[in-house]
């Protein structure tokens, strides 16, 4: 390894000491965790708190699945806030690859550097420089190569960022089901070894394991290997009490009575067969709207006028109105 | 304790859950970090380490409840069994009569109230549902099972029998009606207004959810006593229900089909990806700057030889051709779900359904996010009957070839779905041969047990010779295996 590479590594020099650990427990108990989350506005249940607590103790990533808008993403954010960690988020999409997930060389900067070297080297002719590179001046080019593949030219992406961070980190890999298999394999590798090897620079190891959350909307099945590596958490729609608490916490200025009514109605709607059941985010949108409109208690007409915020399909709205609002059902 | 866990893991595997060694070890690790006296905590810890799919949760939960049934949540008057080992042993032995309060029998060791009359019990039930008090609900459950289930030690009767027997005697419907009457009455007498439809609905839903809680408590009370009587293992064997992936699609109930549908979605995507594979590296992808720069070093930084990334997989072209006749009715529903799931993710899926006539139904799936809608429209609008509404594969294939055959190119994969029961019509297998010559792949999924293939009017063999593979596909697991083999 060259000098530059060594230098590049000093910023994560502790990394060579061995296998990183998860550090001291972030949370005292599942119970404490649940309480702490509630204090910062995330209402977990025993299952959620239990799994997150365990994930910290076992130093394992959590794979979070469940219907849309049930607080999967928010969970990671809230856990980061509670544990005073930096949240690093990798938003997945079809086509996400290594260069956007892990790292990439800043090729523009590299090209500029190369051009600068040619000019300062007294050569204004690219082709002559090229032939020089292959013959007598090879050493200079070797030096330049080391230079442009050093830390300064590296664009760090979320995975690498999470691994080399010195401070505590919560890594959120959001909507992991959207990446292709190759990228999933890359993820698995990183989440198993917590190290990244950059051919030009050497190996980067985590000094402290980040807490990792992967969320999935289950649009495709993840590999067995990835699932084996993770703890699994399915977050379903909350029950009545929890949903009422979420509404009370997240909607400023709402009365207890209205929050209760909102939660009850939403719970009832979820028992009807709909094309798309209302999610927690839709519950919250609805509650906020009702507060804005100054509605204190929902009656049939208030419900009818605002149902479209809760339900996305016209057929669902009609169905809900029929089931809930008209007598004789 | 670890033995107990091993036994439990074995039980899960018996039910078809794929628990790996790593996961087993993780679960063992996890047990060091939970309070073993807290049953829920234990359940979530084991669930998170052993169960990696929500569709398996039910099977897991049932097994857990039985395996760890002798531990009851701490409640007033409960004797706590100290540690896991003790439950394990208790679960293996049988305790004839333990906790089996027979009708009229007093002093079952759980104290208090076994002599409750049916009237008293009915009143307690009413109060419990009215207040939603969980302690009261639990008490009702226990007394109801004591009095009404008629459980007798050693009888090889399933839990559901006792469950329904108990429920029949409780008249929960009547309780609900009484509560609703009362609510209407109160509303009318307090402010003079009758309950609105919305108020009624919400109130009824609240009571119903308490009634559900009660049902669950009764169920688990019965389960607990059955375990005490017969031992966990024996009971587990008798309650095992198939996982969604093991349900026979030809004989699925509505509920089972629903579970199937959920499990099917991710699988269908995998299937489509596999069918489309191999086309990957044919075209150039976007410029790979990193590789280009690296290469340019040998030419003094002049990027004379650009490097390209591999392209993203291109959209597959899939022709799904499915028999939706009566002989495969429930498979057809499954098939349509499958087609819907595939087409919702890939734009180049064309779907065709046939009986003795054939029709393209791609348009019904486009933009339909509810498969039920698509299925309804297909049943109503698709033109699939030609003469008599009995499958005629030969005619369907011929028409398919005449009308759409030109569009089947070397980029297309054809997926045939059906039992190849041709009602003794001509097979016209040469059509399939022609199609195979043009298409990239031809596969056939047959929902009939392989043992019946070729019997009676089944001519699967005649078609099979023109397919890359003919596979039995009666369950999701088989479908999954087929998809896996496509690699
Ligand atoms: N348990 C909860 N406590 C507090 N707020 C919640 C809770 N669950 C959901 N929310 C709120 O609901 C909204 C939706 O949550 P979030 O975006 O995390 O859902 P998601 O599960 O990630 O959805 P998607 O699958 O669509 O990504 C957010 O505003 C979040 O704050
Ligand atoms: Mg999200």
Give the separation between CA B408 and CA A92, rounded to whole angstroms: 34
Most confident of B76-90, B98-112, B390-404: B390-404
More confident residue, B18 or A213: A213
Q: What is the largest CA-CA distance in chain B?
A: 98
Asked if residues B283 and B314 have their Cβ atoms less than 8 Å apart, the reply is yes
Average of per-residue pLDDT across A107-123 = 75
Give the separation between CA A320 and CA A304, rounded to whole angstroms: 9
Residue of A74, A78, A236, A288 with the most ligand 1 atoms within 8 Å of its CB, for mutation: A74
**Confidence (pLDDT) at B371:** 66
Does residue A329 belong to any structural domain of this protein?
Answer: no
Average of per-residue pLDDT across A267-292 = 92
What residues of chain B lie within 8 A of the CB of A53, using their CB?
33
**Confidence (pLDDT) at A29:** 92
Q: Closest-lying ligand to the alpha carbon of A70? A: 1
Q: Which two tokens stand for residue B158?
A: 């399933």
Q: Are residues A216 and A253 in the same domain?
A: no
Q: Which helix (H) or strand (E) holds B3?
A: helix B2-14
Q: Which two tokens stand for residue B472?
A: 């039995």
Q: Give the chain A residue nearest B299 (alpha carbons).
A: A130
Asked if residues B157 and B107 have their Cβ atoms less than 8 Å apart, the reply is no
Q: Which two tokens stand for residue B254?
A: 């509505």
Give the separation between CA A152 and CA A147, rounded to whole angstroms: 9
Give the CATH number for residue A194. 3.40.50.300
More confident residue, A22 or B421: B421
Q: B172-191 and B118-131 helices cross at what angle (nearest 10)?
A: 60
Ligand 1, atom 9: nearest CA belongs to which residue?
A71
Residues whose beta carbon lies within 6 Å of some atom of ligand 1: A 41-43, 68-74, 215, 217, 246, 250, 280-281, 284
What length does chain A have?
A: 329
Give the separation between CA B332 and CA B445, rounded to whole angstroms: 12
Q: Which atom of ligand 1 lies at the shortest distance from residue A68's CA? A: 25
DSSP A88: E
**Confidence (pLDDT) at B269:** 66
What residues of chain A lie within 8 A of the CB of B204, using their CB?
none
**Confidence (pLDDT) at B8:** 92
Give the separation between CA B320 and CA B271, rounded to whole angstroms: 12
**Confidence (pLDDT) at B223:** 85
DSSP A67: S
Average pLDDT, chain A: 85
Asked if residues A5 and A201 have their Cβ atoms less than 8 Å apart, the reply is yes
Instruction: Render pLDDT for A23-43 as a digit per residue (tens, 0 to 9).
Output: 788 999 999 999 999 999 999
pLDDT band at A221 (very low <50, low <70, confident <90, very high): confident
Q: Are residues A168 and A148 in the same domain?
A: no
Preferred mutation among A49, A54, A265 to probe B, highest tally of B CBs within 10 A: A54
Domain endpoint, select from A118, A153, A188: A153
**Confidence (pLDDT) at B55:** 84
Smallest Cβ–Cβ distance between B202 and the set A220, A265, A327 belongs to A265
Q: Which helix (H) or strand (E) holds B26?
A: helix B21-31
Average of per-residue pLDDT across B275-282 = 48
Interchain CB distance below 8 Å, B201 and A127: no
More confident residue, B94 or A109: A109
Q: Which two tokens stand for residue A248?
A: 């009370």
Q: Are residues A61 and A76 in the same domain?
A: yes
What residues of chain B lie within 8 A of the CB of A50, using their CB?
34, 40-41, 44-45, 48
Residue of A73, A235, A247 with the most ligand 1 atoms within 8 Å of its CB, for mutation: A73
Q: Closest-lying ligand to the alpha carbon of A217? A: 1
Interchain CB distance below 8 Å, B197 and A50: no
Interchain CB distance below 8 Å, B52 and A227: yes
**Confidence (pLDDT) at B292:** 62
**Confidence (pLDDT) at B106:** 38
Residue of A43, A71, A239 with the most ligand 1 atoms within 8 Å of its CB, for mutation: A71
pLDDT band at A310 (very low <50, low <70, confident <90, very high): very high
Give the separation between CA B422 and CA B407, rounded to whole angstroms: 25
Q: Given a cut of 70, is residue B62 above it in pLDDT?
A: yes
Give the separation between CA B306 and CA B293, rounded to whole angstroms: 8
Most confident of A219-233, B320-334, B371-385: A219-233
- CA of residue A253 relative to chain centroid, distance: 30
CA distance B362 to chain A (A): 21
Q: How far is the CA of B103 from the centre of ligand 2 (A)?
A: 53
**Confidence (pLDDT) at B115:** 66
State the residue range of the domain holding A58. 2-99+157-234
Q: Are residues A64 and A84 in the same domain?
A: yes
More confident residue, B54 or A125: B54
Domain endpoint, select from A183, A203, A234: A234
**Confidence (pLDDT) at A247:** 97
Q: Are residues A272 and A254 in the same domain?
A: yes
Average of per-residue pLDDT across B265-277 = 66
Asked if residues B328 and B354 have their Cβ atoms less than 8 Å apart, the reply is no
Of the given ranges (A58-67, B47-56, B173-182, B249-258), which has the lowest mean pLDDT? B249-258
Q: Are residues A194 and A208 in the same domain?
A: yes
What is the pairing mode between strands A231-234 and A211-216? unpaired
Average of per-residue pLDDT across B133-145 = 89
CA distance B7 to chain A (A): 20
Domain endpoint, select from A219, A234, A249: A234
**Confidence (pLDDT) at B482:** 82
More confident residue, A164 or B338: A164
CA distance B397 to chain A (A): 32
Q: Are residues A267 and A285 in the same domain?
A: yes
Smallest Cβ–Cβ distance between A264 and the set B202, B292, B370 belongs to B202
Q: Closest-lying ligand to the alpha carbon of A281? A: 1
Average of per-residue pLDDT across B294-320 = 61
pLDDT band at B233 (very low <50, low <70, confident <90, very high): confident
Smallest Cβ–Cβ distance between B269 and the set A53, A220, A228 belongs to A220
**Confidence (pLDDT) at A182:** 85
Sheet holding A169-174, edge to edge: A86-91, A169-174, A211-216, A62-65, A231-234
| DSSP state letters, A111-168 | HHHHHHHHHHTT---HHHHHHHHHTTTHHHHHHHHHHHTSGGGEEE-HHHHHHH-SS-
Does residue A168 belong to any structural domain of this protein?
Answer: yes
**Confidence (pLDDT) at B196:** 85
Query: What's the domain count of chain A?
Result: 3
Average of per-residue pLDDT across A241-246 = 96
CA distances from A119 to A113, A138, A177, B303 (A): 10, 17, 48, 17
Smallest Cβ–Cβ distance between A99 and the set B52, B269, B290 belongs to B290
Q: Which helix (H) or strand (E) holds B444?
A: strand B441-446
Q: Are residues A129 and A268 in the same domain?
A: no
Give the separation between CA A248 and CA B128, rounded to whole angstroms: 27
Interchain CB distance below 8 Å, B290 and A107: yes
Does residue A304 belong to any structural domain of this protein?
Answer: yes
Q: Given a cut of 70, is residue B277 above it in pLDDT?
A: no
Does residue A285 belong to any structural domain of this protein?
Answer: yes
Average of per-residue pLDDT across A229-256 = 95
Average of per-residue pLDDT across B182-192 = 82
Average of per-residue pLDDT across B121-150 = 88
**Confidence (pLDDT) at B114:** 53
Give the separation between CA B349 and CA B316, rounded to whole angstroms: 7
CA distances from A282 to A267, A277, B368 (A): 12, 10, 22
CA distance A157 to chain B (A): 15
Q: Are residues A318 and A209 in the same domain?
A: no
More confident residue, B413 or B48: B48
CA distance B332 to chain A (A): 22
Q: How far is the CA of A263 from the centre of ligand 1 (A)?
A: 15
**Confidence (pLDDT) at A3:** 41
Average of per-residue pLDDT across B113-133 = 83
Preferred mutation among A268, A274, A275 to probe B, highest tally of B CBs within 10 A: A268
Average of per-residue pLDDT across A9-24 = 47
Average of per-residue pLDDT across B100-117 = 45
**B282 burial level (CB within 10 Å; 0-12, 13-18, 19+):** exposed
Q: What is the largest CA-CA distance in chain A?
A: 95
Instruction: Render pLDDT for B401-453 as a digit per residue (tens, 0 to 9).
Output: 999 998 888 888 898 988 898 888 888 999 999 999 999 889 999 888 888 89
Q: Given a cut of 70, is residue B87 above it in pLDDT?
A: no
**Confidence (pLDDT) at A169:** 95
Q: Which helix (H) or strand (E) holds B134?
A: helix B134-148
3-state secondary structure of B47: helix
Q: Are residues A134 and A163 in the same domain?
A: no
Q: How far is the CA of A174 from the centre of ligand 2 (A)?
A: 6
Q: Are residues A172 and A67 in the same domain?
A: yes
More confident residue, B420 or B240: B420
More confident residue, A32 or B108: A32
- CA of residue A142 relative to chain centroid, distance: 39
Q: How far is the CA of B56 from the centre of ligand 2 (A)?
A: 23
Of the given ranges (A266-280, B260-274, B317-331), which has the lowest mean pLDDT? B260-274
Q: In chain A, which residue ranges form alpha helices assigned H by DSSP? A: 3-10, 30-39, 46-58, 72-82, 98-101, 107-120, 126-134, 138-148, 158-164, 181-193, 224-229, 240-250, 256-271, 280-292, 300-310, 314-320
Q: Are residues A249 and A308 in the same domain?
A: yes
Angle (CA) B420-B423-B429 rounded to 5° is 50
Asked if residues A173 and A102 have their Cβ atoms less than 8 Å apart, the reply is no
**Confidence (pLDDT) at A55:** 96
Sheet holding B317-323, edge to edge: B358-360, B349-354, B317-323, B412-417, B441-446, B469-472
Q: How far is the CA of A73 from the centre of ligand 2 (A)?
A: 4
**Confidence (pLDDT) at B248:** 78
CA distances from B36 to B41, B42, B46, B106 (A): 7, 6, 11, 33
pLDDT band at A326 (very low <50, low <70, confident <90, very high): confident
Q: Which two tokens stand for residue B427?
A: 């097979």
Average pLDDT, chain B: 77
Q: What is the pTM of this model?
A: 0.72
pLDDT > 90 in chain A, percent: 50
Q: How far is the CA of A249 from the centre of ligand 1 (A)?
A: 13
**Confidence (pLDDT) at B463:** 94
């Amino acid at each position: 390894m060259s000098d530059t590479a060594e230098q590049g590594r000093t910023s994560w020099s502790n990394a060579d000491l061995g296998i990183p650990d998860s550090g001291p427990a972030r949370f005292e108990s599942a119970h404490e965790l649940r309480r702490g989350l509630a204090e910062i506005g995330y209402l977990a249940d025993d299952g959620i708190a239990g799994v997150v607590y365990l994930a910290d103790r076992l130093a394992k990533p959590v794979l979070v699945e469940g219907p849309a808008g049930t607080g999967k993403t928010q969970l990671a954010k809230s856990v980061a806030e509670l544990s005073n960690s930096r949240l690093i988020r990798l938003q997945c999409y079809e086509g996400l690859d290594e260069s956007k997930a892990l790292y990439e060389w800043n090729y523009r900067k590299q090209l500029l550097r190369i051009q600068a070297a040619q000019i300062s080297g007294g050569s204004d002719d690219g082709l002559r420089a090229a032939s020089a590179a292959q013959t007598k001046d090879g050493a200079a080019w070797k030096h330049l190569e080391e230079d442009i593949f050093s830390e300064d030219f590296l664009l760090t992406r979320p995975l690498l960022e999470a691994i080399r961070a010195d401070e505590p980190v919560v890594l959120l890999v959001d909507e992991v089901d959207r990446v292709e298999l190759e990228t999933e394999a890359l993820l698995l590798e990183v989440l198993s070894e917590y190290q990244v090897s950059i051919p030009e620079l050497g190996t980067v190891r985590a000094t402290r394991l980040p807490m990792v959350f992967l969320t999935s909307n289950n649009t495709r099945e993840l590999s067995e290997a990835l699932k084996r590596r993770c703890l699994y958490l399915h977050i379903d729609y909350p029950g009545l009490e929890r949903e009422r608490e979420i509404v009370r916490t997240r909607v400023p200025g709402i009365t207890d009575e209205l929050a209760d009514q909102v939660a009850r109605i939403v719970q009832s709607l979820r028992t009807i067969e709909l094309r798309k059941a209302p999610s927690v985010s839709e519950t919250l949108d609805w509650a906020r709207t009702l507060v804005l409109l100054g509605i204190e208690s929902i009656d049939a007409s208030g419900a009818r006028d605002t149902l479209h915020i809760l339900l996305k399909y016209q057929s669902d709205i009609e169905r809900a109105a029929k089931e809930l609002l008209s007598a004789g059902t | 304790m670890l033995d107990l866990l091993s036994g439990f893991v074995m039980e899960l595997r018996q039910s078809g859950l794929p628990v790996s060694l790593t996961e087993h070890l993780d679960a063992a690790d996890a047990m060091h970090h939970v309070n073993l006296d807290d049953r829920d905590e234990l359940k979530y810890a084991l669930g998170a380490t052993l169960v990696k799919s929500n569709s398996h949760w039910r099977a897991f939960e049932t097994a857990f409840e039985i395996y760890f049934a002798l531990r009851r949540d701490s409640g007033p008057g409960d004797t706590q069994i100290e540690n896991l080992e003790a439950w394990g042993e208790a679960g293996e032995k049988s305790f004839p009569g333990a906790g089996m309060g027979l009708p009229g029998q007093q002093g079952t060791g759980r104290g208090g109230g076994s002599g409750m009359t049916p009237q008293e019990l009915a009143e307690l039930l009413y109060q419990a549902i009215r207040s939603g008090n969980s302690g009261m609900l639990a008490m009702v459950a226990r007394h109801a099972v004591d009095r009404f289930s008629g459980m007798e030690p050693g009888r090889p009767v399933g839990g559901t029998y006792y469950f329904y027997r108990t429920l029949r005697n409780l008249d929960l419907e009547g309780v609900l009606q009484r509560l609703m009457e009362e609510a209407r009455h109160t509303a009318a007498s307090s402010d003079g207004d009758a309950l609105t439809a919305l108020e009624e609905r919400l109130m009824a839903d609240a009571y119903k959810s308490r009634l559900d809680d009660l049902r669950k408590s009764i169920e688990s009370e019965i389960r607990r006593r059955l375990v005490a009587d017969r031992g966990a293992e024996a009971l587990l064997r008798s309650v095992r229900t198939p996982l969604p992936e093991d349900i026979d699609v030809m004989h699925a109930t509505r509920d089972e089909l629903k579970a199937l549908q959920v499990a099917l979605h991710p699988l269908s995507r995998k299937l489509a990806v596999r069918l489309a594979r191999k086309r990957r590296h044919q075209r150039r992808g976007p410029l790979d700057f990193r590789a280009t720069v690296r290469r340019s070093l040998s030419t003094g930084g002049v990027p004379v030889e650009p490097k390209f990334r591999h392209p993203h997989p291109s959209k597959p072209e899939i022709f799904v051709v499915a028999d939706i006749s009566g002989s495969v009715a429930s498979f057809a529903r499954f098939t349509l779900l499958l087609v819907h799931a595939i087409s919702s993710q890939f734009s180049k899926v064309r779907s065709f359904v046939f009986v003795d006539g054939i029709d393209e139904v791609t348009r019904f799936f486009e933009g339909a996010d509810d498969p039920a809608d698509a299925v309804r429209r297909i049943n109503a609008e698709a033109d699939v009957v030609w003469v008599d509404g009995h499958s005629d594969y030969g005619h369907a294939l011929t028409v398919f070839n005449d009308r759409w055959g030109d569009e089947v190119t070397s980029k297309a994969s054809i997926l045939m779905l059906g039992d190849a029961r041709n009602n003794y019509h001509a097979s016209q297998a040469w059509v399939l041969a022609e199609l195979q010559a043009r298409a990239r792949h031809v596969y056939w999924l047959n929902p009939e047990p392989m043992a019946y293939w070729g019997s009676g009017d089944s001519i699967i063999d005649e078609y099979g010779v023109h397919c890359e593979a003919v596979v039995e596909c009666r369950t999701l697991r088989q479908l999954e295996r087929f998809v896996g083999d496509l690699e």
